[in-house]
Structures are given as C-alpha cells and as structure tokens.
A = this chain, B = another copy of it.
Amino acid sequence: MPSTFNAVDPATGVPGAGYDEASAAEVAAAVDAAQRAFRDPTLRDRDARAALLRGAAARLRNAGDEIVAVAASETGLPEGRLRGELERTAGQLEAFAAVLDAGDFVEAIIDTPDPEAEPIARPDVRRMLVPIGPVAVFGASNFPLAFSTAGGDTASALAAGCPVVVKGHPSHPGTGELVARELQAAVFEAELPDGTFAHLLAAGIEVGEALVDADAIAAVGFTGSTAGGRAIADRAARRPNPIPVYAEMGSINPIVVTEAALAARGDAIADGLVTSVSNFGGQLCTKPGVVFVPDGPVGDEFARAVAARLDAVEPTVLLNERLRDALVAALARLAERAEVRALGSAPAFAGAGYRHQPAAYEAPASAVAEGADLLAEHFGPVVVLLRYAGRDELLAAIAQLEGQLTGSIHAQPSDEADAELVAVLTELLAARAGRIVYDGFPTGVAVTHAMHHGGPYPATSAPAHTSVGMTAIRRFLRPVAWQDAPATVLPPELRDANPLGIWRRVDGELTREPLAV
C-alpha cells in the first residue's frame, strides 16, 4: 500500500484530494525511462524539442482555467497572479523554443588545423555543448507553475536535450499532476520518448533522496529554502560520482534607500516597497527582506508610512501550514532581540487557514555590523528596516551581507553625495548579489536573455549560473570536442557548411559563414 498525503487549501486549512507517495520502484522506473530517452536520438532533434516546448505552452494555456482553479485552491494565491504565472510559464517554454530555433546556445567553436603550429601541430578541433544527461527537478512551493513541474528548470533542461524527472512539491500536488498531464501529452505529440518527462509526487524526503542518488541522474535543479538546497547539494557531493546541483535558495534582497530619495519620493518608495513585501504573502525568492533606511525624521516618516501601509493590508494566505509556523517562530525570535522593535500593530491572525499579517520591524544597522544576526530570511510578508546613521555605518552593514539574489538602490542621482554612494554601493552589491536594481524593486523577475537570477552562496549553490532567463540552459549542457573528426560523425552545428546557419566562433572570430574549405 502506498502512503498517501492530501492537498490542503491554505485559505481554510481544509484537506482536499489525496495523492499517493511515489514508490521506490516508481522512482527507479522514471529514472530508467529518462536514461533510455536520453540515449534515444530523437531527443537530440532540436526541432522536436522546440515542438515539445511550444506544444506544452499551448496545452498549458488551453488547460489554464482548470490549472488555475486547482492551483488557487492549493496555494491560496489569487487568480490574477496564477493567470499571470501560467502565461509566464508558457512564455518561458516558448522562449526556450526560440533559443533552440536560433541554435547558437551550443556555443559552437571551430579551430581549423595548423600543421606548422609550435610547439605542436594544431589539429582540427570542433567543440559544442551537448546535454548533460537526465535531470532531477525539485518543484518550488511558491511558484506552483513558473518554478515547478513545467517551470524554468524543466523548460531549460528539456530545451538542452535532457530528460526531466520532477519531484513535485507536496504543497500543490493536484496542480503538478495537471501540468504533468499536459506536458506528457506534449511529449507524445512531439513523438519524443515517454521517458522525456516524468512527475513524481511525494510529501516525504525519500523520493527526493532517491532521485539525487540515482546513478543516471546527471544534474539537479532546485528552488526552495537554503536548508533544503544545501541538503541536496551535500547529498549529491557524497555520491560516488558527484553531480552538479543548481539550487536557488535563500536571499534577503537588501534595499538601500537614501535620505535624498526619501525626501524626493518617500511615499512612492513606501508604496512600491509595501507591494513588493506583501504581494502573494511575501513568498517570493526576491522579496525584499531588509531595507537600509537613514536615521532621522525623514527616515522615521518613511518607517511609519511603511508600517501603516502594511498594517492596512489584509492578512495574506501563506502557502501552507509549515511555512506559516516557521514564519511565526522566526518572528518570535526576531522580536525577542533587544535591538529590534515591531512597527505598527501587526496583530496575530487567529482565523481560518494559514494567514499572516504583513508587518515591518526596525533595528539599528550598526547591530548588523557588530555581528547581530539580523540578516536571516523571513519567508513571508515581513520586512526589517535597518536604520543607518551615515555612510560608514551603511557600508559596514552592507559588507556583512552574504550572497544575495538581488540588491536594490533607491537614490537621487542629482544629489552629488548620492551619485558617489550609488557607485560605491554598486561595487559592494555586485560583489555579493546576482542582480542590482536601481530605483525599483527586485520582485517580478523578467524572463529575458540578460536576466540573471542567481548569486553567491547562500543565494545559490552554483554562482556561475542562473535559474531564470535564457542562459539558464547552460546549466544542463557540457562541452564535447571532436578532434580531426570525419564530416559524417560531426553534429550539424559543427559541419563545414554550417547547415543550421548558427553563430560560431571560427579561429577566434564569431561568424555565421560556412567554413572556407
């Protein structure tokens, strides 16, 4: 008998449908099928993969009403957000199809031979990126569509040519099953092997552990907590043959606001911040967790404005009981600190479901520089305002930051001191964060070529890579070089004629021309 678990509507706390935990045999079968699919030449056909991605996008849109309804009941996220997320998810799949059309993601490089080269003759060497192998993807709770079953990890791995085995998040099992149904149908319609995609449900950790341990799994994509990502990375590092883990984990996404910026547009910044902190229960990887606010009356007024606006927000539904309990416990620890003050009234919510009142806390930035652990992530609609007495105190606190997904600066460029400070902060933040946002908020990550959603540990386990944007495909590729290969065995991307018309680096120069022979 398989063990089962239930979906729960976090808005009410009422259990919904039951789901079977995937068995060890099902995990093994999914991995075996993925391995067979990986060896199947049809998965190497980039047109077939593009058709899969576009087919999946179309199917998700067609099933949108059904998916959004189930997702809303499992996550408490509002319909508008889920419709936007569904469109984003479909758009991501299509964007990676376009990457396949363009074809130069393989980074083809050709060096023509030079028999006269010193100290040794130079052979004909042609290199491109090939898929790394079957990929295990761990769905995230906070984006039931865009970072889950058919989310960015799955889309980029499939685009790369890697079969995907998803460990669906137990917080939205019905959503995952619906999305998987559409993705599997798209696999069938694209005439790709069954093992191209599998979806395993589990509330316990055994399924995930078995996936990370599976010999045929060549890489892991994960979005979630630092503790969860670190456990997976550690486990993968202990394999007989360690594999890369691309875990996008914790971040407090610091924001700096200057006095000049507050004086010029404090209300607008407060409005933007409150939206960024409280929207969707503040359960975004890029939710601002700390804001550096100047001491003095202008900063005081800003702090009051933020607190009042957060007070006025209705208690928001959190994704599940565990996250709600974790937030309550973390805030209790925070509030116990002598240097921390709760702003606003922020009553504990005692009604149905797993809700929390958006809230702000305040502490002196100097406490950070002195080593107080005020820089923990609070996953939920909560922000800590760190008050700084001047430039030095601000910079000393920023220097204490660990790796972050983002860092943001609200300043007044017309102010000379601010202009200089922005340059200094840019340096400091670029050394610690993956993305720097100017006069804006880090939530709402655009899915574009240039987007970087990553950062040094603990923001991610792989600082050289991104989990959002078109370069996310690079995580699931590895280079292979063919030396003095007969034309018949070369992939089309590396043939003299450049039949795909892709950009290639030939003898050091980028070109789309065929090789002169």
Contact = CB atoms under 8 A, between A and B. Distances in A.
Interface of A: 39, 83-85, 87-88, 98, 102, 104, 107, 109-111, 117-120, 122-123, 125-127, 130, 132-133, 218, 233-234, 237-238, 241-244, 402-403, 413, 419, 422-423, 426, 430-431, 433-440, 444, 446, 448-452, 454, 456-458, 461-466, 469, 471, 474-475, 477-486, 488-489, 503, 505, 507-508, 510
Nearest to A460: B478
A423 B487 CA distance: 11
A507 B98 CA distance: 13
Nearest to A461: B242
B436 A482 contact: yes
A402 B464 contact: no
A507 B448 CA distance: 8
Contacts of A466: 479
B483 A120 contact: no
Given A84-B120, A110-B450, A123-B437, 11 more contacts: A125-B450, A241-B403, A242-B457, A433-B480, A436-B485, A449-B507, A452-B481, A454-B478, A454-B479, A463-B478, A471-B479
B483 A435 contact: yes
The 3 A-B pairs at the shortest CB distance, nearest first, are namely: A84-B119, A452-B481, A237-B237
A268 to B, nearest CB: 15
A510 B503 contact: yes
A457 B237 contact: no
Nearest to A482: B436
A446 B242 contact: no
B464 A477 contact: yes
Nearest to A440: B484
B413 A486 contact: yes
Nearest to A125: B450
A292 to B, nearest CB: 18
Contacts of A98: 508
A202 to B, nearest CB: 25
